[in-house]
Structure 1
């Protein structure tokens, strides 16, 4: 097993996740089996209780693990399926050590950070690195480990110490450290500054880890003199200083790294059993990236949510939209709309903001209401859904978006003015959305209906079923604590509001569709978590097709895209490890 540790310096959010994913992509392109582990030094057990403004979206895995959004990058880049144990936190480590102490596993010894915490970290990494993630039961050959935060954080110290010891246990030829640092370039002078990187590397070396590669994040290409200066003060060869400049597409990052000889370095440093050179393989990536940059036709989608000030809050949603837009040869334009701005209360206080929000909504070609929690902004989402239904605009509701679509229809078509979810009104006369008793334990963390669940289609005429290829069922990932009240569904179906998908037992409503509408679909699950660049999520693809006016043509052709699309994608079918069209916003 080969281990590649990615650390960061100077600032957080510098792009370690994208670089770790890109490194894994290069290695996988050479025929190696690659896995990934994300370490988050916070004391939370998992990411499930985070506000999206704190840490971006909560990504959900097949096994129900609520993890950091970087694991979504790993899955999309490498086309793998990870588990909750691929996300390691301080909380998990301390919890496991304390549980062992309570059982008496330490035989009366004083439990300390060194060696007990550090040993637990190493044991966790070694065990998880050997878990198959490709679906073929093959044991990984390389494990890419990303250590969150920045070097010097007090929370990271036990992990740094653990890997200081780890590098000797697994031997130098099996361990490599990559340090990602920032090269600021002040506008006043335009000069690239190396001092922050020098200080960061000095601190890392003082803690016992010496970087093998220094990846320098910069807005413009790294100057030769700057590279030589970093080499001299950071104890590496100039060839070990890698420039990671801003690029037009995240898809270009693996190409950028490979061009600078990263794979050749890995082969020498880690003695990798590589038979195939990645340059030819990654040329397919270049074809896709070039194509995405050349797209001229645009399709606009209004994303109506409550966390629109931070794009990371909807990372997977944006990726799924981008994958679908690329599939239909369109460039995506996302119009972020804060749902509160659509409400009449905003019109009274900030009329300009209110009218701007409605102008964005009315000018969009499609409407998306993603998942979420809490009552704030829900009335604005319902107004957006009402507008999309009445104006025959393509609409997709995900999780809460589907539940609110049910509320909107009940209020405005069935005439139940107080129809609501018990999440927002505990005792409405018409509780069209209710809580699931088995998932209401009084605690918030990890108590929802989580992970992969099966949805059975009960209608052969369902648009979504056709988009999925006519299959009888689909397996998608869930994250919710409330569900549609099945006892009231017959009232909806009489008015053309169809529940075309249910769970295996027929107890939970999973998919809704509206008759006589161009595209009005709601899903209880989160299809964005399994979207891939060459295999876009069907619900999102349907939304983009409808927004571009191509849905009916697509369905008439048996759910096949145009020959030009197929031709441009045939050469890239094998290489679905990347996120093709996502702008590298984190950088």
Structure 2
């Protein structure tokens, strides 16, 4: 097993996740089996209880793990499925060690950071690095480990010490440390300043780790360009020599596909605008996977994505009196958008604004996709305005509503916040063949997507909706949980209880998101008539024939 540790200096959020993902992509393109581990030094057990503004979105894995959003980068770049134990936190490590102490595993010894915490970190990494992530179920050959935070942070010290020891245990030919740093360029001089990086490397060496490689990547038009830049700088040859890897110096067809995809991304001319109506719009990382899923779909049909973030509270009628400028600006964005997306979320704030956006999409026949809470609110909006149940609501927002069209799950345990939701990959069975989403999924009988929710549509009331044209076309395997809604006589009005954005990949766009982009560009009907094949005319004449979307995206059967 070969280990590549990625550390960061000067500032947090420098892009270690993208660098780690890109390195993994390059090595996978060389024919190696690659896995990834993210270490977060915070004391939380996992990311499940974070506010999105605190740490960005919570990424959900197949096994139900609520993890750091960087694992989403790993999965998208490497096209693999990771596990909750691929995300290590201080809380997990200390909980593991304390449980062993309570069981008497340390035989009465004093439990300390060194050696017990540091040993636990090394043991966890070695065990998890061996877990297969590909369909062939073979053990990975390379493990890329990202150490979150910044070198010098006090909470990261036990992990740095663990890897100081681990480099000798693994031996030099099996362990490599890459340091990612910021090189500022003041406008006054226009000169790049390396002193912060020098200080960061000195701090890292003082802690016992000497970086083999210091990475600097200039700002790029898209993250798809990063693996290409690293490859052009000779990183394949470097890893081949440094880690004695059985690979060729030249990249495979996979990396060439990445290059063609990056080239096409930079040459896009046509634009598709999508209004994302949410409550965490001040930080784009709050909807990182949603943005990527939209971008993957836009790229598949050769359109540049214009994603307009709209704070749902600014669409509410009360805002008109408080701040008419923001109110009218928000509605102007919504009205000019080609499609509307209402993503997941929690809490009552901003829900009335989301309902207004959904009503606009339904009545004006604007392409619409509702995800998780977005689907639930679409049901609430339909109940109020089409069934005339004026007090219809979710019990999350009004526990005493007379028309609880959305209710909490029977197994929901409100006494504990962590890991109590319906989480991870679950099967959704299509109820009918006459479903737009079923066709987008390649006419499959069922799909498996990831969930993260505590509330769901009340199954006892669904017949009332279906009589008026809102169809529940997808259920769980027992037929009791409503998973997919579609509205009749509408260009594209779809809601899903699951989160399809988590399984979207750059070369395999998520079908619900692809459907939204196709409908927003007026090409959905033609796409369905072609049997869910992208038209060759979508490709640009200045690109080679083998880079056309139809060849790189032969269909949209994903997940």
Matched, 1:484 2:457: yes
The answer to whether the Cα contact below 8 Å between 2:508 and 2:553 also exists between their aligned partners in 1 is no
Q: SS of 2:411's equivalent?
A: helix
The answer to whether the Cα contact below 8 Å between 1:31 and 1:276 also exists between their aligned partners in 2 is no
In the alignment, the residues of structure 1 paired with residue 72 and residue 124 of structure 2 have an alpha-carbon distance, to the nearest angstrom, of 21
Alignment correspondent of 1:41: 41
Q: CA deviation at 1:136?
A: 1.1
Among 517, 527, 531, which residue is 2:504 paired with? 531
The answer to whether the Cα contact below 8 Å between 1:81 and 1:135 also exists between their aligned partners in 2 is no
Q: SS of 2:157's equivalent?
A: helix
Alignment correspondent of 2:187: 187
Matched, 1:473 2:446: yes
Once the two structures are superposed, the pairs formed by residues 41-60 of structure 1 within 5 Å of their partners are 41-60=41-60
Q: SS of 1:145's equivalent?
A: strand
Q: Deviations over 1:523-558 (max 9, x none)?
A: 000000001112111100110010000111111111
Alignment correspondent of 1:121: 121
Q: SS of 2:506's equivalent?
A: coil
Q: Which runs of 5+ in 1 are unaligned?
A: 217-243, 577-587
Alignment correspondent of 1:377: 350
The answer to whether the Cα contact below 8 Å between 1:440 and 1:481 also exists between their aligned partners in 2 is no
In the alignment, the residues of structure 1 paired with residue 111 and residue 403 of structure 2 have an alpha-carbon distance, to the nearest angstrom, of 55
Q: SS of 1:64's equivalent?
A: coil
Alignment correspondent of 2:212: 212
In the alignment, the residues of structure 1 paired with residue 508 and residue 233 of structure 2 have an alpha-carbon distance, to the nearest angstrom, of 30
Alignment correspondent of 1:82: 82
The answer to whether the Cα contact below 8 Å between 1:4 and 1:176 also exists between their aligned partners in 2 is yes
Q: Deviations over 1:183-205 (max 9, x none)?
A: 01111221211111111111100
The answer to whether the Cα contact below 8 Å between 2:151 and 2:200 also exists between their aligned partners in 1 is yes
In the alignment, the residues of structure 1 paired with residue 257 and residue 387 of structure 2 have an alpha-carbon distance, to the nearest angstrom, of 52
Q: SS of 1:80's equivalent?
A: coil
In the alignment, the residues of structure 2 paired with residue 460 and residue 570 of structure 1 have an alpha-carbon distance, to the nearest angstrom, of 25
Matched, 1:344 2:305: no
Q: CA deviation at 1:564?
A: 3.9
In the alignment, the residues of structure 1 paired with residue 496 and residue 359 of structure 2 have an alpha-carbon distance, to the nearest angstrom, of 17
Q: CA deviation at 1:572?
A: 4.6
Which stretches of structure 1, 4 residues or longer, exceed 2 Å deviation after superposition?
279-284, 563-567, 569-574
Once the two structures are superposed, the pairs formed by residues 105-116 of structure 1 within 5 Å of their partners are 105-116=105-116
In the alignment, the residues of structure 2 paired with residue 294 and residue 203 of structure 1 have an alpha-carbon distance, to the nearest angstrom, of 42
Superposition CA RMSD, Å = 1.3
In the alignment, the residues of structure 1 paired with residue 518 and residue 123 of structure 2 have an alpha-carbon distance, to the nearest angstrom, of 48
Shifted more, 268-277 versus 91-100: the winner is 268-277
Matched, 1:99 2:72: no
Q: SS of 2:366's equivalent?
A: coil
Q: Deviations over 1:384-417 (max 9, x none)?
A: 0000000000000000000000000000111111
Alignment correspondent of 1:427: 400
The answer to whether the Cα contact below 8 Å between 2:53 and 2:286 also exists between their aligned partners in 1 is yes
In the alignment, the residues of structure 1 paired with residue 259 and residue 422 of structure 2 have an alpha-carbon distance, to the nearest angstrom, of 40
Once the two structures are superposed, the pairs formed by residues 325-344 of structure 1 within 5 Å of their partners are 325-344=298-317
Matched, 1:309 2:294: no
Shifted more, 350-359 versus 534-543: the winner is 534-543
In the alignment, the residues of structure 2 paired with residue 564 and residue 529 of structure 1 have an alpha-carbon distance, to the nearest angstrom, of 29
In the alignment, the residues of structure 2 paired with residue 572 and residue 392 of structure 1 have an alpha-carbon distance, to the nearest angstrom, of 31
The answer to whether the Cα contact below 8 Å between 2:30 and 2:252 also exists between their aligned partners in 1 is no
Alignment correspondent of 1:585: none
Q: Deviations over 1:279-303 (max 9, x none)?
A: 7652332221111111111111000
Alignment correspondent of 1:19: 19
Q: CA deviation at 1:573?
A: 6.5
Q: CA deviation at 1:569?
A: 3.9
The answer to whether the Cα contact below 8 Å between 1:183 and 1:194 also exists between their aligned partners in 2 is yes
In the alignment, the residues of structure 2 paired with residue 303 and residue 515 of structure 1 have an alpha-carbon distance, to the nearest angstrom, of 23
Cα separation, partners in 2 of 1:570 and 1:136, compared to 1, 3 Å: farther
Shifted more, 432-441 versus 547-556: the winner is 432-441
Q: CA deviation at 1:277?
A: 2.0
Of structures 1 and 2, the one with the larger relative CO (CA 8 A, separation 6+) is 1
TM-score, scaled relative to structure 1? 0.92
Shifted more, 560-569 versus 77-86: the winner is 560-569
In the alignment, the residues of structure 1 paired with residue 314 and residue 278 of structure 2 have an alpha-carbon distance, to the nearest angstrom, of 10
In the alignment, the residues of structure 1 paired with residue 177 and residue 459 of structure 2 have an alpha-carbon distance, to the nearest angstrom, of 54
In the alignment, the residues of structure 2 paired with residue 572 and residue 172 of structure 1 have an alpha-carbon distance, to the nearest angstrom, of 39
Alignment correspondent of 2:368: 395
The answer to whether the Cα contact below 8 Å between 2:25 and 2:77 also exists between their aligned partners in 1 is yes
Matched, 1:260 2:266: no
Q: How many residues align?
A: 548
In the alignment, the residues of structure 1 paired with residue 458 and residue 126 of structure 2 have an alpha-carbon distance, to the nearest angstrom, of 46
Q: CA deviation at 1:457?
A: 0.4
Q: Deviations over 1:452-499 (max 9, x none)?
A: 000000011011111111111000000000000000111111100100
The answer to whether the Cα contact below 8 Å between 1:57 and 1:312 also exists between their aligned partners in 2 is yes
Q: SS of 1:540's equivalent?
A: helix
Q: Deviations over 1:258-314 (max 9, x none)?
A: 111111111111101114621765233222111111111111100000011111100
Q: Which runs of 5+ in 2 are unaligned?
A: 540-545
In the alignment, the residues of structure 2 paired with residue 115 and residue 290 of structure 1 have an alpha-carbon distance, to the nearest angstrom, of 49
Once the two structures are superposed, the pairs formed by residues 406-445 of structure 1 within 5 Å of their partners are 406-445=379-418
Alignment correspondent of 1:224: none
Q: CA deviation at 1:441?
A: 4.1
Alignment correspondent of 2:243: 270
The answer to whether the Cα contact below 8 Å between 2:367 and 2:520 also exists between their aligned partners in 1 is yes
Q: SS of 1:438's equivalent?
A: coil
